[in-house]
């Protein structure tokens, strides 16, 4: 087998650097298999013309420094198993974000890959999750603000919302992105798609509709589906899920939403904005229960101002139907209450799609909910099998799924030992205003042993919010009192999902709140709110002039 060269490269800082370094090393005679800017390494197979001097010169031309070259004689970029009696280097069950990220990474490493899919290619995000929901949330938000804007002298008439037309354009977008970002990539990367239901028949075999596959390594990436708790009468009553709610073509006159975390809040407000009378029913003591309590409180008040009802700490005891209306019996603070509406949406979480996968036969451990348990390298209890995405116990976000798929593939095929970390993982709830958070909450920081200090800035103190007449919200920063290091950022504001990335980078690079306060933030942007909140640790924001340092 050919030698494998590992080149240590200094100066890479981003994905673009990976492409530039690839071009430089290929010019120097290296057939590049992989470049990783985070590790500062490139690997590949050398041609006869390759030399360390040529690589150093080619890299220097592009502003990088060669820090070392290592040769592994007689090895391969893919090291999966000693058993040559395999059909593929990697078989992935599933075809969503985690699956495709893994497959593309595996092909970049020179591995043979097959995806096994029994349903629609593309997984949750593009088909029934992020893309379709946001494609409807935005027009609903525009419709609401057209009829409820805060600007005197601006007269706008609204003549109703054609939900069927909105759903049609949503479906067109989904179809386009599914083709461009999933289906077409099969040919681009030479990934084989095997149609059918895959299940493990042993620790190293998968059967797909009667066909047995053997691979060096496997990846489980089957995602998750809506889950509802057992409520007396619920099945007979009928209900919507996050999937079927996005297919409605008529706006319901009234809607009960059970669950007020991200999905329930987003979809409930979607229909609220289109004219439904919405009632949220949340079993935990507050809506947005995993955010800071200040955010939950302000958002709850805002939803009520929009005409909705919010019942927190409400336990559902029974469901039923009375003619065209559904009803729920709930207990709030021990008091019984019946809630009625035209439609019922259950947004009570998602559970892993592991039923029928044969995980017992494969020796793969799951938790009490059926989610696959992995270590930080995404390896399961069977060392030959990895898992990534919503099917695991990790946070259910498309960007974590994609990163996990990439890491899992490299670890499976090269034993790279990369670990996934969620320390700087942001989360965004696309309500209006948006919720965005990263890092530790105040309670989590205390539990972690920090001596904590916080700064909470109301949006009334942010000039951009004043100019927009959108002052519902706040920015809360959590920091370590001894070092000043930022530990967490929590935002309720229009554009919070964009602003949070600055806080992600601050936490990643261990910035202090004083460093944030001393950094340029452009005036009349929501991002300036981070600076103001950071200044709030040391100064009274009310007594600062505009742009005051």
Model confidence at 135, pLDDT cuts 50, 70, 90, reads very high
The answer to whether 510 touches 448, Cβ cutoff 8 Å, is: no
Q: Is 1 considered catalytic here?
A: no
- In the predicted structure, residue 243 carries a pLDDT above the cut 60: yes
- Domain segments of the chain as ranges: 4-72, 88-123+168-225+351-414, 234-348, 427-543
With bands split at pLDDT 50, 70 and 90, how would you rate the model's confidence at 84? Answer: low
Q: Lowest mean pLDDT: which of 70-74, 331-335, 435-439, 484-488?
A: 70-74
Q: What does the pLDDT read at residue 2?
A: 52
Strand order of the sheet with strand 434-439? 427-429, 434-439, 486-493, 474-480, 452-458
pTM of the predicted model as reported, rounded to 2 decimal places: 0.85
Domain 88-123+168-225+351-414 shares a fold with domain 234-348: yes
Q: What is the pLDDT of residues 158-203, one digit of tens each?
A: 888 999 999 999 999 999 999 999 999 999 999 999 999 999 999 9
Q: What is the mean pLDDT of the segment spanning 244-250?
A: 97
Averaged pLDDT, 453-473 = 96
CATH fold, domain 4-72, is Alpha-Beta Plaits (3.30.70)
Active-site residue, from 130, 143, 425, 453 = 130
Catalytic residue among 64, 182, 239, 386: 64
Are 533 and 527 in contact by the 8 Å Cβ rule? The answer is: no
Whether the predicted pLDDT of 436 surpasses 70: yes
Q: Tell me how many degrees the CA angle 274-279-281 measures, rounded to the nearest 5.
A: 135
Decide if 17 is catalytic: yes
Q: Which of 391, 448, 398 is nearest to 423 (CA)?
A: 448
> H/E element holding 377?
none
pLDDT at residue 264, as a whole number: 98
Tens-place pLDDT, residues 327-343: 999 999 989 999 999 99
Which residue in this structure is represented by tokens 């947004």? 347
Query: What are the E-state strand segments in 388-531?
Result: 427-429, 434-439, 452-458, 474-480, 486-493
pLDDT at 81 over 70: no
Task: Provide the mean pLDDT of the chain.
Answer: 94
Active site residue 14: yes
Strands, sheet with 385-387, edge to edge from the N-terminal-most edge strand: 192-195, 113-117, 88-93, 215-220, 385-387
Look at residues 464, 462, 479 and name the one whose alpha carbon lies nearest to residue 541: 462
Mean pLDDT of 465-486: 97
Query: Model confidence at 73, in pLDDT bands (50, 70, 90)?
Result: low
CA distance 9 to 65: 6
- Contact indicator for 289, 305 with CB cutoff of 8 Å: no
pLDDT at 75: 43
Select 427-543's CATH number: 3.40.50.410, 3.60.20.10, 3.50.50.60, 3.30.390.30. 3.30.390.30
- CB contact at 8 A, 510 and 475: no
Least confident of 72-81, 433-442, 499-508, 517-526: 72-81
Is it the case that residue 76 has pLDDT exceeding 70? no
Q: In the structure, what pLDDT confidence band is assigned to residue 72 with cuts at 50, 70 and 90?
A: low
Q: What is the 8-class DSSP label of residue 183?
A: I
| pLDDT given at position 345 | 98
Which helix (DSSP H) or strand (DSSP E) does residue 501 occupy? helix 496-508
Model pLDDT for residues 276-293, shown as the tens digit of each residue: 999 999 999 999 999 999
170 closest CA partner among 94, 308, 258, 270: 270
Q: Which of 125, 272, 346, 526 is catalytic?
A: 125
pLDDT at 38 over 80: no
- What share of the chain in percent tops pLDDT 90? 87
Minimum mean pLDDT range among 24-33, 235-244, 403-412? 24-33
234-348: which CATH architecture?
3-Layer(bba) Sandwich (3.50)
- pLDDT value of residue 74: 46
Calculate mean pLDDT across residues 51-68: 92
Instruction: Report which secondary-structure segment, H or E, holds 296.
Output: helix 293-305
At 1, is the pLDDT very low, low, confident or very high (cuts 50, 70, 90)?
A: very low
The active-site residue, picked from 1, 14, 176, 505, is: 14
C-alpha–C-alpha distance, residues 153 and 187, integer Å: 55
Q: How many CB atoms are located within 10 Å of the residue 471 CB? A: 17
Q: Is 13 helix (H, G, I), strand (E, B) or coil?
A: coil
Classify domain 88-123+168-225+351-414 by CATH architecture: 3-Layer(bba) Sandwich (3.50)
Catalytic residue among 88, 346, 509, 546: 546
Query: Which residue of the set 12, 272, 346, 526 is catalytic?
Result: 12
Backbone angles phi, psi at 38, to 5 degrees: -65, -40
Give me the catalytic one of 1, 176, 505, 547: 547
d(CA 354, CA 359): 8
272 classed as catalytic = no
Q: Return the ∠ at Cα 246 (arms to 242 and 250), rounded to 5°.
A: 130
Give me the mean pLDDT over the 337-355 stretch: 97
């Amino acid at each position: 087998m050919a030698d494998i060269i590992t080149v240590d490269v200094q100066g890479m800082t981003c994905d673009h650097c990976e492409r530039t370094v690839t071009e430089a090393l290929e010019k120097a005679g290296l057939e590049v298999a992989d470049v990783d800017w985070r590790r500062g390494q490139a690997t590949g197979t050398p041609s006869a013309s390759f030399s360390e001097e040529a690589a150093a010169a080619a890299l220097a031309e592009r502003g990088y420094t060669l820090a070392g070259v290592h040769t592994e004689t007689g090895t391969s970029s893919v090291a999966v198993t000693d058993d040559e009696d395999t059909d593929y280097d990697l078989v992935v069950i599933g075809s969503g974000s985690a699956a495709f990220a893994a497959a593309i990474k595996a092909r970049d490493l020179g591995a043979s890959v097959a995806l096994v899919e029994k349903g629609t290619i593309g997984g949750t995000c593009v088909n029934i999750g992020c893309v379709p929901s946001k494609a409807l949330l935005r027009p609903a938000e525009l419709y609401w603000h057209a009829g409820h804007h805060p600007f005197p002298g601006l007269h706008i008439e609204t003549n109703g919302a054609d939900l069927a037309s909105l759903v049609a354009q949503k479906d067109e977008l989904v179809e386009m992105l599914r083709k461009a970002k999933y289906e077409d990539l099969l040919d681009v990367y030479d990934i084989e798609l095997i149609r059918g239901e895959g299940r493990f028949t042993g620790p190293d075999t998968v059967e797909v509709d009667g066909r047995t596959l053997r691979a060096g390594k496997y990846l489980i990436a089957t995602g998750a589906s809506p889950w509802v708790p057992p409520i007396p009468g619920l099945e007979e009553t009928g209900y919507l899920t996050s999937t079927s709610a996005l297919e409605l073509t008529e706006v319901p006159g009234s809607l009960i939403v059970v669950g007020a975390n991200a999905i329930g809040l987003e979809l409930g407000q979607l229909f609220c904005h289109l004219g439904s009378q919405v009632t949220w029913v949340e079993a935990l003591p507050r809506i947005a229960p995993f955010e800071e309590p200040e955010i939950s409180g302000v958002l709850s008040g805002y939803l009520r101002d929009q005409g909705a009802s919010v019942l927190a700490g409400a336990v559902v005891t029974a469901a039923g139907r009375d003619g065209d209306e559904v009803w729920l019996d709930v207990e709030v603070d021990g008091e019984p209450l019946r809630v009625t509406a035209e439609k019922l949406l259950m947004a009570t979480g998602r559970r892993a799609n592991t039923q029928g996968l044969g995980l017992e036969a494969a020796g793969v451990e799951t938790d009490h909910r059926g989610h696959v348990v992995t270590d930080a390298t995404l390896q399961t209890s069977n060392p030959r099998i990895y898992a990534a995405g919503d099917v695991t116990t990790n946070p259910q976000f498309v960007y974590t799924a994609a990163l996990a798929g990439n890491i899992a593939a490299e670890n499976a095929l090269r034993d790279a030992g990369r670990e996934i970390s969620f320390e700087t993982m942001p989360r965004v709830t696309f309500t209006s205003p948006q919720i965005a958070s990263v890092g530790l909450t105040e309670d989590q920081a205390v539990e972690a042993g920090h001596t904590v200090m916080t700064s909470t800035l109301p949006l009334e103190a942010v000039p951009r919010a004043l100019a927009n007449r959108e002052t519902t919200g706040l920015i809360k920063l959590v920091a370590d009192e001894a070092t000043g290091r930022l530990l967490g950022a929590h935002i309720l504001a229009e554009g919070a999902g964009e602003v949070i990335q600055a806080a992600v980078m601050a936490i990643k690079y261990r910035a202090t709140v004083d460093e944030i306060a001393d950094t340029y933030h452009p005036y009349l942007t929501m991002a300036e709110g981070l600076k103001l909140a950071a200044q709030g640790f040391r100064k009274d924001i009310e007594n600062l002039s505009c742009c005051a340092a």
